[in-house]
């Protein structure tokens, strides 16, 4: 029981886990934004190319 209580009270490893979660959330947001902008930019460039021809 002491072992579990000591593990629960130690917070040294929690910092790394919190940073990993924050990094994962930021990566998901960045990848989603890049995909959205990429698709919109492709559509705009296609429309401009069609208008020029």
| Tens-place pLDDT, residues 9-48 | 666 656 777 888 999 999 999 999 988 888 788 888 888 8
Please list, in sequence order, all residues whose beta carbon lies within 8 angstroms of the beta carbon of residue 11, skipping any fewer than 6 positions away: none
Q: What was the pLDDT predicted at 8?
A: 61
The two structure tokens encoding residue 8 = 């629960």
Q: What was the pLDDT predicted at 17?
A: 77
Q: What was the pLDDT predicted at 9?
A: 66
Q: What was the pLDDT predicted at 19?
A: 85
User: Residue 50 pLDDT > 80, yes or no?
Assistant: yes
């Amino acid at each position: 029981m002491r072992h579990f209580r000591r593990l629960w009270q130690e917070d040294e490893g929690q910092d790394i886990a919190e940073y990993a979660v924050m990094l994962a959330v930021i990566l998901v947001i960045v990848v989603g934004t890049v995909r959205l902008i990429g698709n919109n930019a492709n559509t705009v460039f296609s429309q401009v190319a069609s208008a020029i021809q």
